[in-house]
Chains A and B, each alone.
Chain A
């Protein structure tokens, strides 16, 4: 399987702790790939390795290769800043910039990187907010603070902000864990619409969510990738005993 992102013997550490062990996986383009597993199994760490956000944490390092369109993002020549522009990320807790308006939050990526053309920024705001299915709800108060809207709206604002820099891949780290079911459903619908244009990887501890939206699912346990395949097959007919135990709720 040739993927948008391919990892090769990927290992990640926090100091002495070996959090992600020898992962080989291929994340296909224009599809949603879910990563599931019990808390602390390394799923968040794994996706943070895919846009070099893992190394931002003190004492953290990664080893191995991660190919984005065939190019190793851990190559010493590769600039992590460039990687992060192509591989966007949405975090577990909505984190809009509190000192910025909704408008400024959406274009934060562009403005912080020096874009000054208001016309372009305006277009970006409308396009990104529409993509994130937030436009209708906030279009009348774009100058309100980014933290003045509800948690679910804030999370969609963060998705809009990530989409505004026109990434190719969108990584989501348990994006719905702080949201209620209605807001969660909205984000799931949104991801479903986005997969035509983007490659999406989502970490979730909610198995129903993975089953609902993901084309492919990876199951991780204790830092290892136990099983990876089409969602339907993984949930209905898992190969590994561990996977079956986990999805049937016998542990985790």
Chain B
């Protein structure tokens, strides 16, 4: 009896020790990546690095300003295209998708969400780049396609979390279905929608492969929709591949900037999800002011 119990205790200890070791092993690459990026990237970063454009090796005052701007533009245009489609797809699947079509959409969404991004880049290449050339809009298009299934899935999940009793409450007041969806369901699932959008943005901000095939990269401050533009992942990719030490150092600097941007987005997401119920619209004027006018 006694030996049985102590054996069980030992098994338990060994199992939890094993799990702990695995956690530590898994943390090693993560921590070393972070340390490596910070230690090699930080020396590269100064004001000029953030504000000057990318230049060839040896040029003074070389920076990644145009790549930061390019990445922001790419993400902005991708969001403008991808978020509406993604959110509305999610709304459709959650609120109107209780049929074979909705199930099919959900199925393809799941497939598309796990699609290799280079293939999506290739698709954008053949569709747009072959017509108008390497361009901001082709890059944004590719990123938007990556965003849509992510946003659609998180939107659907967020709306499914809204209790059915609220749908019924609104419908029973004689509010039409579409208004119920728009004003009650979406407003109650709002923080989930924001979370999904931010996660999708964080995901595409680091995409490289589709951009090689679409927005291509640029050493100048280019912002035109039909022109090739710079982007942080492209700077990292090209400079790291180059044989020049100064360009390689810039790649680490760009990596640190990119990681900082993506991490801070993730932190924002965390904060938002924690404060889920806090958002509610206040009455425009206070009720006291208004009631005293006409009671």
Contacts and interface: CB of A to CB of B under 8 A. Distances in A.
A202 B129 CA distance: 66
Given A56-B168, A122-B290, A98 B173 contact: no
B291 A145 contact: no
A103 B172 contact: no
B181 to A, nearest CB: 11
Contact of A142 (B163, B176, B280, B287): B287
A101 B279 CA distance: 11
Interface residues of B, number: 36
Given A53-B172, A165-B174, A100 B165 contact: no
Interface of B is mostly: helix
Contacts of B175: 81, 108-109, 112-113
A101 B281 CA distance: 8
Contacts, number: 103
A243 interface: no
Given A112-B184, A143-B287, A95 B169 contact: yes
B19 to A, nearest CB: 39
A231 B170 CA distance: 32
Interface string A127-168: 000000000000000110100000000000010011001000
Contacts of B176: 81
A81 B174 contact: yes
Contacts of A100: 280-281
A51 interface: yes
A82 interface: yes
B277 interface: yes
For the complex of A and B, the 5 pairs showing the least CB-CB separation, nearest first, are A85-B174, A109-B173, A95-B165, A89-B172, A84-B174
8 contacts: A96-B169, A98-B277, A99-B190, A108-B170, A112-B179, A126-B295, A142-B287, A162-B172
